[in-house]
Amino acid sequence: MGVVLEPYIYEGGMYKHGLILELLEDLGGYLVQKTPAGSEVTLVMLIPKEDVHLVQDLAKKLLGTLTKAPLTGTEIAVVSPTLASHHLPHSACDVAEYLRRGGSNTNMIGLARGMGRKVSLSEDYERKLINEHDVAVFSFGVFSDCIINKKPKLFKGIKVPIVATGGPELNTEDVPGADMYVGGIGRIAHRMRKEGELNSLDVLNEKVGEMIENKREKLAKDPLAVIPARVMQEIERQISDIQNVLSPAPITLQLDGLRIKLPYEDYHKNIENLEFDEGVVLSEIADVMPSKMKNYILVKIKPESEVGYSI
């Protein structure tokens, strides 16, 4: 698997966007997500590194834009203490929206009892759900005392990298348990569109990008037996029912697996028996399990060191 794939987002008109998809297929790239909106379309793709200029040229011809999207192929949990109006729609949704612009798929998770200082806590189910993601972004409030002394107990049991966001400008070391802290966000009751607020969101995207990059590098040392995008393509080819799923991202890529939005009971056999051209079936190189999110299917791909080969 010598091809290095780079993540890009194409934004342009619906007209002739099929040419991009055809070129992408010829080059051996992958389409991660396609979002049509009126006469516009957004394509999230993985393009082979040395062929990026070809897509760039075509995008220019079609008057669209091709931008690098470092968060592509990741699923990020945006966790807010509850789903009450104190956190939503601003600032937690603004954070999620900004991360999506970087190419990631985000899920908003509102804890059942995350609010308050002494009384805040998380449930086992919630922790397991958050652990299914690549990165968890916690959105906290205005007071440094709360963020430093009280809120970190929500990090207990979270095994994925944690990014905490809040109002005060603190150092990462001040927030116990967090792998990264981004200030300047916090509790905001209006849409974030002032310069300072947007800057903080840019910083957040950058830091999450760094964190993802770290995780990618770790994975590169012991690569996965198959890249998640390839599994996605095979599912689209072999399991036609995925076309009928109405979610914006019927198959959501993660760094080390994917979430398939089909009911586990009915489809897990089909997924396990997914065949690759090399004669391997998916269950040999990955764990297929029920997801904590609805009754979806979660696939975690095993590393090459465990399987003994990669395809």
Partner 1 sequence: MEPLETFLVEAPLQSESEQYRQILKDVISDMVLAQSIGRIKVVIRPEESLFQMAMVLRGGLSPVKTSDFADVNVGEFGKNEVVIKINNEKYLSQLLKILWDKYGRLNVRQPERKTVAVKTENPMDKISNIENIIVDDPRNTLKKRVVDMAVRVAPEGFRVRYHSLKGDNFIFVASEDAMKQEWIEEAHQMLDELTDKED
Q: What is the contact surface with partner 1 in residues (CB under 8 A)? A: 81-82, 84-87, 115-120, 141-146, 167-169, 186-190
Helix (H) or strand (E) segment spanning residue 31: strand 30-37
Nearer to partner 1, 82 or 270 (CB): 82
CB of 169 to partner 1, least distance (A): 8
Q: Are 204 and 222 in contact (CB under 8 A)?
A: no
DSSP state letters, 101-136: HTT-EEEEEE-SB--SSSS-B--HHHHHHHHTSSEE
CB of 138 to partner 1, least distance (A): 15
CB of 299 to partner 1, least distance (A): 36
**How far, in Å, CA of 133 to CA of 73, rounded?**
11
Question: How many angstroms from the chain centroid is the CA of residue 247?
Answer: 15
Nearer to partner 1, 76 or 192 (CB): 192
Nearer to partner 1, 37 or 119 (CB): 119
Nearer to partner 1, 60 or 194 (CB): 194
DSSP state of 74: -
Question: How many angstroms from the chain centroid is the CA of residue 251?
Answer: 11
Nearer to partner 1, 70 or 186 (CB): 186
CB of 185 to partner 1, least distance (A): 10
**How far, in Å, CA of 296 to CA of 289, rounded?**
9
Q: Are 232 and 251 in contact (CB under 8 A)?
A: yes
Contacts 24+ apart (CB under 8 A), 241-250: 241/267, 248/33, 248/35, 249/33, 249/105
Helix (H) or strand (E) segment spanning residue 13: strand 5-13
CB of 155 to partner 1, least distance (A): 17
Question: How many angstroms from the chain centroid is the CA of residue 82?
Answer: 21
**How far, in Å, CA of 220 to CA of 213, rounded?**
10
Burial readout 273-302 (b: 16 or more C-beta within 10 A, e: otherwise): ebebeeebebeebbebeebbbeebbbbebb
Q: Are 168 and 216 in contact (CB under 8 A)?
A: no
- For residue 87, give every residue at least 6 positions away whose Cβ sits within 8 Å of its Cβ, in sequence order, or none: 80, 81, 110, 139, 187
CB of 79 to partner 1, least distance (A): 15
Nearer to partner 1, 150 or 300 (CB): 150
CB of 181 to partner 1, least distance (A): 15
CB of 6 to partner 1, least distance (A): 39
Nearer to partner 1, 53 or 118 (CB): 118
Nearer to partner 1, 151 or 268 (CB): 151
CB of 167 to partner 1, least distance (A): 5
